[in-house]
Structure 1
Amino acid sequence: MKLTMIGHESWSLQADDTHLLIDPVLGHGFGSDAERQFSIVPARSVDLQRMPAVDGIVLTTEHLQHFNPASLRQLSSDYGHLLKHQVVYVPELFPGAAEAIVRACGYQVRRIDTQAEFTIGSLSLRFYMPRTDVLFWDSRVASLHVERQRGEALFIQSDTRIADAYFADVNSGAVTWPQVMVMTNNFQGSGAQGPIGLDNLLPVPDQRYTRVPGLRLLDEIVHKPMRRLNQVPTLILAGNGYRDPFGKMHQPWSNLELAEICSELSLLRTVHSLAPGESFDVATAQPGEPAGWISTSCEVDTRPAQGQGRRTSLDTQQIKAYLDEMARTWLITRYGQVLMTQGEYLGRPVGPCRVALQLTREDGASQQWLLDVSRVEFVEVPDEGVGAIKRYPYGIRVEHGDFCRLLLGELQIWELLNLSASQWYVCDRYDSPLAFWLEYYNEQVDYGRALHSYERSLAIAP
């Protein structure tokens, strides 16, 4: 088997006359906003005219950096002659809205049960999902085990932890021991341009993310998983192969640096990292010949994006209706219980208003809403600006237009967290307000909103 990196966590896998594409993102970037795309780095060019014919496409998740409807449509509409079979294989919990878009792009969809064996050409594959001890937004993600006859096997980790069942199957011999495992490094921190994701605006320590030295990171993504296997395979580090449009994301350690550290310390056998177009021979566990249809490119503009995306707005009454619907769900979840038990903040009683939502605008006409847990609704109050962080234990700041676009399905929640949203909180990061939003506005929860976001990603594609 020959594994080739297309970029970030997109892969080409060839064996005999069989060729698979795994999570193909074939353009320069991805995202719902044409003016604020997330760019694949290092930049590369994919010459589909030279790509070998494809037997099947495998998707491990609907996450934007793995599921790219524009790439699927480009393949079916412009390069259909290279598709031996227009079939896409997805794990059992792949969202229905994402499946609908795959079908709209001209493909059959085969939904595969976890750990069930399925065949594409000369290859046998299985999805593995962790099911437990995983965050909601990663709970539908499947990693992939691939086997070829004569005892050759490969494992590709996706955006989730490796399932306990996989370690058990490998150690018991239920599946072939993988000569090569691709391990995912998705660790990111805030750069100089501002907070991202679930970062906290309050100056309080976060034991999970305060400081992650290279050796601790290697222990998390490499050594702890490997200690669960009876025999250590050759490893390839992947992930973090994209940049946000404002340059906010910061990766303190590149995969190449981590691989070199791991290899030099002789903690395991040699650890590798692949650049776009580079290949790896699974049978020999050694680098192979690069792919001629993928080349490094200097075409992508690396300057940070300026301003906001396309203007979208809802009136105050419409926003309140959305917020009050969210409030009723918020307070009956574990996230709501965190709010209910917060009686004091900075040495003072907090009262019934526990969360501030600030919808900011460049023209100064910002709005502030407070979640009143006694009335189970949001109430609009005069905007307190930065002073709100001193009065309320929880808060979210987000650009007004981006929030409206989220509500209308024109922006996905993961994008919002890395474009204009920030928060403060006095709890664990995974109980924070934006952690709740990641579940509430998730693509699996609202079919209509998710479908619209996928349709929009196709509409803005070149």
Structure 2
Amino acid sequence: MRATFIGHQTWLIEHGATRILVDPLLCEDFGLVDQYRIDIYPPRTVDHRALADVDLIFLSHEHSDHFDIQSLNLLPRSARFVVGSTIVEPVKQCIRDLGFELTEVDSTEPMLIKDLSLRFYPADPKTAFWESRVTQIYLEERHGPCSGIFIAVDALISEVFKTDIVEERVSSPSLVIVSNNSRVSPPGAFQSLENWGKNAADSNRKTGPLGLGVLNSVLTAYLEDFPAQPEHIAMCGGGFIKRFDGFAAFPFSEQPMLSQLANQLSLDVNVVGLLPGQGIRLDAPQESQIDIDWVTVDHLQHQQLIRELETFIDDRKSIEVASSVLPDLETPAEYAECLERCEVELNRMARSLMLFITGRKVLQMSHYRGRPLGPQRIVFSFVCHRLGLRSSYGLNMVSGRFEVEPLTELDALIAHYPYGVCLPLVDFMGVADGTLQIWDVVGVSIQSWFEHGIFDGLIPFFYSYYGENGSPHLLDRIIRRNMATLEIAQCN
């Protein structure tokens, strides 16, 4: 049984004559909004013709770093296409429109595909809401010694799968593939869940043994209650480039380096970190690494990106928040019209925000920074850098409506409100109307601040409310726009 890494979180699992492709990203970039596609890291090319005989394609969930329409368009329509039954309908319809025969799975009963047996599992219920539609996959040999591979993707490991191991309905996997989604930005560069209320004074400097924290969270804490120690743990994820001036790759996203360090610190498990085109073979007398020739890493560009990151850190550079992702508004009339639509959108979302953990947390607070809180406790501040305009709105937790906030300076808003967000008006409305995805703007043009934990703030609310899980109608608009410009391939 062989597992070959294609890039980011794409895997090809093979045994005998059976080939299973998981979460295919086959282009040099990915994304559902063509103007903002994101480059794969490390940079590589894939000759998709080598996948012409793949038996089954499995899509774990609908996020654009797993579901890429341009990549799917390169694959044979003869392959069986499998998704979990909870995946949102626009994705299912897109797969059908591309010409695939779609199978939805809603049980853990085995699916037999030639030499392999496949089982599909729901994510652990404690998984973050925006990842809760993830379906995890377990593959094992139908005949001979039981070598199993479990691919966890972006969610906590399924409680149902762990129970199946304990009750011996399945054998414990030889290989568990986990996601290194730490995406730690280097010092001087903010990241999606940055707390500007606490870090604004020190220019987002990050210090301490952050890489040790990554290894602990991915390899130790994540598998803490796993029923049996797997022989091998393979790391993937973080395989894309954040295109800011001065750095591109994320620190601690070099899986081969991390695996080498992890193996020096562990005793009875083999930690695997691969470059695209490399794989691990489980059915050899001694587990060995394999290479394929149809995935080619651009080693020169890869090394250049590593040097850029090292230079950025050594020179203690910093990056400002982007003025906007979309072209900014140009006239006061455009700003006024956009702001009017924004006010409607704010009051449409107000009740959902009050019911989200952010609203529940702020209702439990009585004081903030030593002063009593009034009814307005969450603020949205919108800017137009081109025109030098800012408009802010506070959510009244009594009336359940947003009201105009006269404070205009960001520091004053941070001092007055325990929870808030500042972003370009044009980007907010771009997300709200389906021109952009929320993933296109977080960590780029948004600043947020919050009390309590990182999942209590407004960015996680945006993930939940505007993400594919909470707003499938927005995803539907983006998919339809993407499909309208796509020349659907005739791949048999």
Contact 1:31 1:457 in 2 (8 A): no
Contact 1:152 1:179 in 2 (8 A): yes
Question: Who is 1:113 aligned against?
Answer: 106
Separation of aligned partners in 2, 1:160 and 1:196: 20
Contact 1:36 1:309 in 2 (8 A): no
Question: Who is 1:91 aligned against?
Answer: 84
Q: What does residue range 253-272 of structure 1 map to in structure 2 within 5 Å?
A: 254-272=254-272
3-state secondary structure, aligned to 1:26 = coil
Separation of aligned partners in 1, 2:225 and 2:351: 44
Instruction: Tell me the CA shift for residue 312 of structure 1.
Output: 7.8
3-state secondary structure, aligned to 2:355 = coil
Inter-CA distance 372–212: structure 2 relative to 1 (3 Å threshold): farther
Question: Who is 1:376 aligned against?
Answer: 400
Instruction: Tell me the CA shift for residue 407 of structure 1.
Output: 0.5
CA-to-partner distance for each residue in 1:307-341, whole Å, 9 max, x for gaps?
64444876222111111010122123332222223
Instruction: Tell me the CA shift for residue 26 of structure 1.
Output: 0.9
3-state secondary structure, aligned to 1:418 = coil
Separation of aligned partners in 1, 2:485 and 2:414: 37
Question: Who is 2:290 aligned against?
Answer: 289
Separation of aligned partners in 1, 2:343 and 2:48: 47
Unpaired runs of at least 5, structure 1: none
Separation of aligned partners in 2, 1:286 and 1:11: 18
Q: Which of residues 411, 415, 432 in structure 1 aligns to 2:436?
A: 411
Q: 1:416 corresponds to which letter in structure 2?
A: V
Contact 2:8 2:236 in 1 (8 A): yes
Question: Who is 1:219 aligned against?
Answer: 216
CA-to-partner distance for each residue in 1:78-111, whole Å, 9 max, x for gaps?
xx4xx433x3201121111211221222212211
Separation of aligned partners in 1, 2:109 and 2:209: 37
3-state secondary structure, aligned to 1:366 = strand
1:337 aligns with 2:360: yes
CA-to-partner distance for each residue in 1:381-427, whole Å, 9 max, x for gaps?
45613232122221101122221110111222233223322200122
Separation of aligned partners in 2, 1:380 and 1:67: 39
Contact 1:190 1:248 in 2 (8 A): no
3-state secondary structure, aligned to 2:108 = coil
Q: Which of residues 180, 185, 192 in structure 2 aligns to 1:185?
A: 180
1:434 aligns with 2:459: yes
Q: What does residue range 233-382 of structure 1 map to in structure 2 within 5 Å?
A: 233-246=231-244, 247=247, 250-252=250-252, 254-284=254-284, 286-297=287-298, 308-311=324-327, 315-363=338-386, 364-382=388-406
Contact 1:196 1:421 in 2 (8 A): no
Q: Which of residues 157, 161, 166 in structure 1 aligns to 2:161?
A: 166
Cα RMSD after superposing both structures:
2.9
CA-to-partner distance for each residue in 1:31-79, whole Å, 9 max, x for gaps?
244443322110000112344511121011112211112211233xxxx
Inter-CA distance 245–401: structure 2 relative to 1 (3 Å threshold): farther
Q: Which of residues 436, 445, 450 in structure 2 aligns to 1:425?
A: 450
CA-to-partner distance for each residue in 1:225-254, whole Å, 9 max, x for gaps?
166333532221212111223358743463
Instruction: Tell me the CA shift for residue 275 of structure 1.
Output: 0.5
Question: Who is 2:332 aligned against?
Answer: none
Question: Who is 2:133 aligned against?
Answer: 140
Q: 1:276 corresponds to which letter in structure 2?
A: P
Separation of aligned partners in 1, 2:483 and 2:187: 32
Q: Which moved more, 1:397-406 or 1:308-317?
A: 308-317
Contact 2:32 2:64 in 1 (8 A): no
Inter-CA distance 279–249: structure 2 relative to 1 (3 Å threshold): closer
Contact 1:36 1:245 in 2 (8 A): no
Contact 2:338 2:426 in 1 (8 A): no
3-state secondary structure, aligned to 1:295 = strand
Separation of aligned partners in 2, 1:401 and 1:192: 28
Inter-CA distance 344–230: structure 2 relative to 1 (3 Å threshold): closer
Q: Which of residues 383, 407, 422 in structure 2 aligns to 1:397?
A: 422
Separation of aligned partners in 1, 2:166 and 2:355: 42
Q: 1:259 corresponds to which letter in structure 2?
A: S
Inter-CA distance 405–260: structure 2 relative to 1 (3 Å threshold): same
Separation of aligned partners in 2, 1:173 and 1:327: 48
Q: 1:409 corresponds to which letter in structure 2?
A: G
3-state secondary structure, aligned to 1:6 = strand
Instruction: Tell me the CA shift for residue 10 of structure 1.
Output: 0.5
Q: 2:352 corresponds to which letter in structure 1?
A: T
Separation of aligned partners in 2, 1:343 and 1:361: 33
Separation of aligned partners in 1, 2:197 and 2:147: 50
Instruction: Tell me the CA shift for residue 24 of structure 1.
Output: 0.3
Q: 1:243 corresponds to which letter in structure 2?
A: I
Inter-CA distance 220–310: structure 2 relative to 1 (3 Å threshold): closer
Contact 2:57 2:81 in 1 (8 A): yes
Unpaired runs of at least 5, structure 2: 201-205, 309-318, 330-336, 488-492
Contact 2:23 2:66 in 1 (8 A): yes
3-state secondary structure, aligned to 2:443 = helix
Instruction: Tell me the CA shift for residue 257 of structure 1.
Output: 2.7
Q: 2:242 corresponds to which letter in structure 1?
A: D
Identity of aligned residues (%): 25
Instruction: Tell me the CA shift for residue 274 of structure 1.
Output: 0.8
Inter-CA distance 232–385: structure 2 relative to 1 (3 Å threshold): same
Separation of aligned partners in 2, 1:186 and 1:169: 26
Question: Who is 2:313 aligned against?
Answer: none
Q: 1:350 corresponds to which letter in structure 2?
A: L
Question: Who is 2:53 aligned against?
Answer: 53
Give the structure-1-normalised TM-score.
0.89
